[in-house]
Amino acid sequence: MNSDFKWIEDYFNLYKKTIFDKNIYKDLVCIKDLFLETSKKRKKIIFAGNGGSAAIASHCSVDLTKNAKIKAINFNEADLITCFANDYGYEWWLAKAFEYYSEIDDVAVLISSSGKSLNIINAAKKCREMNIKIVTLSGFEENNPLRKLGDINLWINSKAYNIIEMTHQIWLLAIVDMLIGSADYSSQI
């Protein structure tokens, strides 16, 4: 077998330890139920992350809104980030965004591969102060700081950023598809 083929096979096998972890199924259903409960209260799901996790936050919030009909937003607007980071410091900008834009019974979905991003941790602490339910997605160390702050915590036993980020995205989009009731649907639903 070609060494590149072997590398790819080994790489994809890493996903078998993350995406297909049956221990996570219960948590995915709990998150789906939390999203439905939040929607019934006419509240919103707020996604946040940095870098690749911010891209996941954008993708999942739009799909949740458009396809599953559950109101969701994300904090990825350049003007919001740069204004709040300039005025409050980068480590506090996200906590301030939650302070200004979230309400009781909203849900925060906080994504950090390492679970150590200070702005995400400070946002979780602010949400905790505001009695906002928190879903965390992280990887790296099992006892990372973010994982200790959530109500529902999805954790991946990996230190590989791409494995962690892609697994987070697949899990979140699986929840969207579970809410819709199908993985096979038109983008015009």
How, if at all, do strands 133-138 and 152-155 pair?
A: parallel
| Domain-located, residue 14 | no
| Domain-located, residue 2 | no
C-alpha dist (Å) from residue 161 to 14, 23, 53, 95, 119: 12, 21, 10, 24, 18
C-alpha dist (Å) from residue 12 to 17, 18, 21, 53, 86: 10, 10, 14, 20, 41
C-beta of residue 141 within 8 angstroms of C-beta of residue 152: no
Average pLDDT over residues 8-28: 89
Distance CA 93, CA 141 (A): 25
| Residue 9 identity (one-letter amino acid) | E
Give the pLDDT band of residue 189 (cuts 50, 70, 90): low
| Domain-located, residue 172 | yes
- What is the CATH classification number for the domain harbouring 86? 3.40.50.10490
pLDDT of 183 reads 74
Q: 184 or 89: whose pLDDT is higher?
A: 89
C-beta of residue 76 within 8 angstroms of C-beta of residue 137: no
| Domain-located, residue 5 | no
Residues 21-77: tens digit of each pLDDT: 888 999 999 999 999 999 999 999 999 999 999 999 999 999 999 999 999 999 999
| Domain-located, residue 16 | no
Q: Which residues pair with 154 in a beta bridge?
A: 137
Can you give the residue range of the structural domain that contains 152? 22-180
| Domain-located, residue 11 | no
Domain total in the chain = 1
* Global pTM exceeds 0.75: yes
| Domain-located, residue 164 | yes
pLDDT cut 90: percent of the chain above it: 87
Distance CA 128, CA 159 (A): 27
Distance CA 105, CA 168 (A): 23
| Domain-located, residue 3 | no
